[in-house]
Structure 1
Amino acid sequence: MSLILEENKECEENYIEVLPIGEVDIYTSPKFKENVLNTINNSNKNIIINAEKLEYLDSTGLGALMSILKTTKENHIEIKIKNLKPNIYKLFDITGLNKVFNIEV
């Protein structure tokens, strides 16, 4: 898994886009969470997770996203997830997290 963090120039101001590439699983989710939380703490900008290149997400990845969501709420920051593949969106649907996260389909 690699992670690209960039200022998103195509959407509203005050957003940073996170582009996880590959898999967010038991091996990669700690680093994913650490990188996104560092970004939140260092920039205090809203977060968009662009999942267009995310191939796989497991329960530890969902746990990392829940930790990120908790931090964003504590800091009054918005988080959006966009471009989820159908197989990954299904995880959010089954767990009910599609009602917790702001997911742009």
Structure 2
Amino acid sequence: MSLVINKNLIESEDIWSIDLEGDVDINTSNKLKEEINSLLDEREANVELNFKELSYIDSTGLGVLISILKRVKKNENKIVVKNSKKNVFKLFKITGLDKVFELK
């Protein structure tokens, strides 16, 4: 499956709001990394990832999220992950990333 990325800067809250739809895997993770890094090049801000329509994420996708988290933290910003489906939330729990990312 493919990955659709919808993004919006909420200037008043200094947040990039990013909705992901589809799968983040070895075939799409580079697209996600390039897209988010491009947004952060444009403006360093907090990142809010909406996983409501995200069906699947693999270890490659998790690696991308970790690299983005490192960049965001350097600028004292944060990443919030919201609306994860059960299978995605379970992966965050199993890997211990539920303690690294703010999940809502």
Relative to the length of structure 2, the TM-score reads 0.92
C-alpha distance in structure 1 between counterparts of 2:45 and 2:14, whole Å: 5
| Structure 1 vs Structure 2 CA RMSD | 1.3
> Following TM superposition, by how much is the alpha carbon of 1:7 offset from its aligned partner in structure 2, in angstroms?
2.5
Sequence identity percentage: 41
Runs of 4+ in structure 1 over 6 Å off: none
CA distances 1:51-95 after superposition (whole Å, capped 9, x unpaired): 111011000000000001011111211110000001000000000
Please, which runs of 5 or more residues in structure 2 have no aligned partner?
none
Relative to the length of structure 1, the TM-score reads 0.91
Aligned length: 102
3-state SS of 2:66 partner: helix
C-alpha distance in structure 1 between counterparts of 2:88 and 2:10, whole Å: 23
C-alpha distance in structure 1 between counterparts of 2:23 and 2:10, whole Å: 22
| 1:38 corresponds to | 38
3-state SS of 2:13 partner: coil
| 2:4 corresponds to | 2
Structure having the higher strand fraction is 2
| 1:54 corresponds to | 54
Please, which runs of 5 or more residues in structure 1 have no aligned partner?
none
| 1:75 corresponds to | 75
